[in-house]
């Protein structure tokens, strides 16, 4: 047993001794250090075939090497030093502009040939280095050789960098562009490249220097440039991303100066007509300045003048932000048809504005001529400012309101108040009397194919248009008798119900209801119309700053806040709901005859067509109204001055929580809100 243990100990000792002994490649003496020095990278790499003529040469070791032990031939043609380059198997060697330069904590050494290498020439590279000691402490030397060949390329200044093309242009709106920068080959140490803009008034860079090290040298770095607004009309401006002079202990990169990147900063200033007016002081046909709406997006200007105004020699007054304009300001023009104005400036895109002068198109009359009390009894229509003056007190219907076509236009009806042309009949008297909502346009298309009335632009009417031909007088169906074959049941409109897109708006002429409680898959009647009225959505409200809102399209002026509210955002006070007769009295006498709202004394409760004109049925939220202009509007019913003729104890109201439906309730049994108009 003792002999076996002794043998085991002898074996372990031998293993330890053997593990400490190492022979070199040249059968040199035993090396005392466990980790020897070895070359891990050479540049140009072994077998390179297209080395540049002005390349630097470097070698990287796996451990630090004493700088004083690294030398190179810096004069003559002798093959001397630890780094040697030769084209004739080391009979002669190149000389270098410098002794080996250390970097990376003395693991990398770089030399630069004193002159360019020859084209298409084979070279050999020898690295001689001390890698350890023998058992007596004497240094041991090892050699490593490689070969490379040159091409015919001489790298220019900055050629150690690859710079991408610019991604686009910057602009004064803040648009950004970028470039990517990466090194073409691995450096021996860190490389720093300064970055800046040649003109910070045109563009700024997000980074002021790029830093590449021996590990991240081949990872692209992005320089982002943001356009700057100089607030000047100077057109598109040229500038540059300035890539400065690189700094590094690696002579292959130190002093390189990549080419700057040309940039263009696009001008964001556009030529504009900044104000446009028709002043009463310059136009004798006007009693007050015209209301004007400028749409800078579409480059349109719309002015509204009183009905009957002579527009053949109106004098506009306007301003532009720069440049010149034709026709000139304060030059009389005939605005019977729209006129184009051109704003121009050398180097800029000419801007064309279309100026149209329109007369407001008020909502058509409801065709209600009788007046009723709260109990449904017929009464003599009170005059304006009477406590119960109502819809029938205000007659605006032309005579006649509708005209049937004849000859070529036979089968059509013209609305003399709105200008719309209607189909005189309807789908009710055809082979296919009813259609789903999706199929309804096909019926109007059939009228176009038949060229009904000489027209080919028939279409489905929108909610407002179809509602406005309801006649609020007489018997069912509630429509002027010039229209033939009208059924009392539901008629489709083209307006989808935004709160539930599976439904669409319809008008029932049996009572004049405008509602949405029909799915698009149901079948209903159709009456087509042409061309477009333009009241599909009001976008021309103006806040007058005196608790009133003007609608430029209709010419109506509205009370901004609901009855009981006040303040710039209608947040003061409390909205007050009242009975129908109290709502009439509020508008006619409390703020109407007294002139307590903006100084006007002709306020009244709106009729059903007028109140419907401010409904925004494109909204998918409630209340269905422009809450920027009519803030704090209640998502509930608002009274109209129009009596529901089939049941005159009720009156019409607009429900702003249901997207603007028109329905009727008892004049004395329910309370709704009021908003006055003039």
Per-residue model confidence as pLDDT tens digits over 560-619? 999 999 999 999 999 999 999 999 999 999 887 777 899 999 999 999 999 999 999 889
Per residue, the 3-state secondary structure of 295-336, as one string, reads ECCCCEEEEECCCCCCCCCECCEEEECCCEEECCCCCCECCC
Q: How many of the other CB atoms lie within 10 Å of CB of 243?
A: 23
Q: Using one digit for the tens of pLDDT, what is the confidence trace for 75-105?
A: 889 999 999 999 998 999 999 988 998 877 8
Q: Where are the beta strands (DSSP E) in 44-121?
A: 48-51, 57-61, 83-86, 101-103, 108-111
Question: Are 111 and 206 in the same domain?
Answer: no
Domain CATH code at residue 116: 2.60.40.1220
**Closest alpha carbon to 650 in 372, 392, 393, 387:** 372
Q: How confident is the model at residue 53, as a pLDDT?
A: 84
Domain contains 641: yes
Mean pLDDT, residues 220-244:
92
* Sheet hosting strand 548-551, strand order edge to edge: 541-543, 548-551, 557-559
Q: How confident is the model at residue 138, as a pLDDT?
A: 75
Measured CA to CA, the distance from residue 614 to residue 597 in angstroms comes to 20
Question: Are 301 and 344 in the same domain?
Answer: yes
Domain contains 117: yes
Please say which residue of 123, 150, 177 terminates a domain.
Answer: 150
Q: How confident is the model at residue 157, as a pLDDT?
A: 63
Question: Are 321 and 277 in the same domain?
Answer: yes
Q: Using one digit for the tens of pLDDT, what is the confidence trace for 519-542?
A: 999 999 999 999 865 443 445 788
Mean model confidence pLDDT for the chain: 89
Q: Using one digit for the tens of pLDDT, what is the confidence trace for 641-659?
A: 999 999 999 999 999 988 7
Q: CA angle at residue 87 from 84 to 92, to 5 degrees?
A: 60
Contact by Cβ (8 Å): 241, 250: no
Quote the percentage of the chain above a pLDDT of 70. 92
Question: Are 350 and 317 in the same domain?
Answer: yes
pLDDT at 506 over 90: yes
Q: Which tokens belong to 335?
A: 């605005």
Question: Are 253 and 299 in the same domain?
Answer: no
Quote the percentage of the chain above a pLDDT of 90. 65
Domain CATH code at residue 248: 2.60.40.10
Domain contains 303: yes
**Closest alpha carbon to 401 in 305, 491, 492, 481:** 481
pLDDT at 404 over 60: yes
DSSP character at residue 499: T
Measured CA to CA, the distance from residue 568 to residue 534 in angstroms comes to 30
Mean pLDDT, residues 495-506:
93
Contact by Cβ (8 Å): 458, 423: yes
pLDDT at 137 over 90: no
Measured CA to CA, the distance from residue 111 to residue 390 in angstroms comes to 102
Q: Using one digit for the tens of pLDDT, what is the confidence trace for 256-281?
A: 899 999 999 998 888 999 999 999 99
Judged by average pLDDT, the poorest of 30-44, 348-362, 435-449 is 30-44
Q: How confident is the model at residue 11, as a pLDDT?
A: 47
Q: Using one digit for the tens of pLDDT, what is the confidence trace for 146-172?
A: 999 998 766 656 678 889 999 999 999
Question: Are 281 and 261 in the same domain?
Answer: no
Give the confidence band of 239 by pLDDT, cuts at 50, 70, 90.
very high
Domain contains 195: yes
**Closest alpha carbon to 527 in 417, 416, 613, 415:** 415
Please say which residue of 106, 121, 150 terminates a domain.
Answer: 150
Question: Are 608 and 572 in the same domain?
Answer: yes
Question: Are 243 and 196 in the same domain?
Answer: yes
The H-assigned helical ranges of 280-435 are none
Domain contains 499: no
Domain contains 10: no
Measured CA to CA, the distance from residue 558 to residue 572 in angstroms comes to 18
Measured CA to CA, the distance from residue 613 to residue 297 in angstroms comes to 24
Question: Are 52 and 129 in the same domain?
Answer: yes
Give the confidence band of 134 by pLDDT, cuts at 50, 70, 90.
low
Question: Are 201 and 284 in the same domain?
Answer: no
Number of structural domains (the chain) is 4
Question: Are 570 and 658 in the same domain?
Answer: yes
Domain CATH code at residue 332: 2.60.40.2340
Q: Which tokens belong to 150?
A: 């040159």
Q: How confident is the model at residue 106, as a pLDDT?
A: 86
Question: Are 173 and 261 in the same domain?
Answer: yes
Domain contains 469: no
| Residue of higher predicted confidence among 348 and 670 | 670
Domain contains 405: no
Give the confidence band of 25 by pLDDT, cuts at 50, 70, 90.
very low
Mean pLDDT, residues 503-524:
93
Q: Using one digit for the tens of pLDDT, what is the confidence trace for 350-377?
A: 999 999 998 888 899 999 999 999 999 9
Contact by Cβ (8 Å): 152, 120: yes
Domain extent at residue 97: 39-150
Please say which residue of 88, 118, 150 terminates a domain.
Answer: 150
Q: Is 435 exposed, middle or buried (0-12, 13-18, 19+ CB in 10 A)?
A: buried
Q: Which residues contact 554 (CB under 8 A, 6 or more apart)?
A: 360, 361, 362, 363, 535, 538, 610, 613
Q: Which residues contact 319 (CB under 8 A, 6 or more apart)?
A: 273, 274, 275, 329
């Amino acid at each position: 047993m003792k002999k076996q243990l002794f043998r085991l100990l002898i074996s372990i000792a031998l293993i330890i001794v053997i593990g400490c002994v190492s022979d070199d490649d040249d059968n040199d003496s035993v090396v005392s250090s466990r980790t020897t020095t070895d070359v891990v990278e050479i540049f140009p790499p072994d077998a390179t075939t297209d080395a540049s003529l002005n390349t630097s040469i470097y070698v990287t070791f796996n451990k630090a090497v004493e700088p004083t032990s690294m030398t190179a031939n810096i004069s003559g043609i002798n093959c001397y030093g630890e780094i040697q380059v030769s084209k004739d198997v080391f009979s002669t060697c190149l000389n270098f502009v410098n002794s080996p330069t250390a970097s990376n904590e003395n693991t990398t050494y770089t030399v630069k040939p004193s002159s360019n290498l020859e084209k298409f020439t084979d070279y050999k590279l020898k690295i001689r280095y001390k890698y350890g000691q023998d058992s007596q402490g004497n240094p041991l030397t090892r050699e490593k050789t490689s070969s490379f060949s040159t091409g015919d390329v001489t790298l220019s200044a900055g050629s150690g960098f690859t710079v991408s093309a610019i991604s686009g242009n910057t602009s004064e709106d803040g648009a950004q562009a970028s470039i990517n920068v990466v090194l073409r080959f691995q450096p021996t140490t860190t490389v720093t490249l300064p970055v800046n803009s040649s003109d910070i008034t045109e563009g700024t860079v997000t980074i002021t220097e790029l830093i590449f090290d021996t590990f991240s040298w081949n990872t692209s770095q992005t320089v982002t440039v943001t356009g700057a607004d100089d607030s000047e009309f100077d057109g598109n401006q040229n500038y540059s991303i300035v890539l400065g002079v690189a700094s590094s202990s690696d002579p292959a990169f130190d002093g390189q100066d990549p080419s700057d990147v040309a940039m263009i900063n696009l001008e964001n200033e556009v030529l504009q007509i900044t104000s446009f007016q028709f002043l009463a002081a310059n136009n004798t046909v006007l009693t007050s300045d015209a209301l004007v709406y400028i749409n800078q997006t579409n480059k349109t200007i719309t002015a509204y003048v009183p009905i009957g105004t002579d527009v053949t020699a109106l004098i506009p007054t306007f301003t532009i932000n720069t440049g010149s304009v034709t026709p000139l300001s304060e030059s009389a023009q005939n605005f019977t048809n729209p006129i184009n104005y051109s704003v121009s400036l050398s180097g800029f895109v000419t801007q064309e504005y279309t100026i149209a002068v329109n007369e407001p198109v008020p909502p058509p009359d409801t065709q209600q001529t009788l007046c009723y009390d709260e109990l449904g009894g017929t009464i003599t229509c009170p005059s304006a400012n009477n406590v119960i003056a109502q819809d029938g007190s205000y007659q605006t219907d032309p005579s006649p309101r509708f005209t049937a076509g004849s000859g070529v236009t036979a089968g059509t009806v013209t609305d003399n108040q709105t200008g719309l042309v209607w189909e005189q009949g309807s789908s009710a008297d055809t082979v296919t009397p009813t259609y789903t909502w999706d199929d309804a346009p096909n019926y109007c298309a059939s009228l176009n194919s038949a060229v009904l009335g000489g027209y080919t632009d028939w279409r489905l009417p929108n909610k407002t248009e179809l509602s406005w031909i309801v006649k609020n007088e007489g018997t069912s169906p509630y429509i002027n008798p010039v229209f033939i074959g009208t059924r009392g049941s539901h008629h489709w409109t083209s307006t989808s119900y935004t709160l539930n897109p599976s439904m669409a708006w319809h008008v029932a002429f049996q009572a004049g209801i405008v509602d949405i409680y029909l799915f698009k898959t149901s079948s209903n009647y159709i009456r087509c119309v042409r061309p477009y009225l333009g009241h599909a959505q009001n976008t021309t409200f103006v806040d007058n700053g005196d608790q009133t809102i003007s609608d430029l399209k209709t010419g109506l002026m509205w009370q901004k806040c609901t009855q009981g509210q006040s303040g710039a955002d209608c947040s003061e006070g409390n909205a007050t709901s009242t009975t129908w007769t109290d709502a009439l009295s509020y508008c006619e006498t409390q703020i109407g005859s007294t002139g307590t709202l903006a100084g006007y004394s002709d306020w009244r409760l709106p009729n059903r067509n007028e109140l419907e004109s401010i409904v925004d049925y494109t909204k998918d939220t409630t209340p269905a109204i422009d809450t920027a202009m009519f803030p704090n509007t209640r998502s509930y019913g608002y009274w109209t001055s129009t009596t529901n003729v089939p049941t005159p104890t009720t009156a019409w109201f607009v429900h702003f929580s249901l997207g603007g439906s028109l329905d009727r309730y008892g004049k004395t049994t329910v309370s709704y809100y009021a908003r006055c108009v003039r």
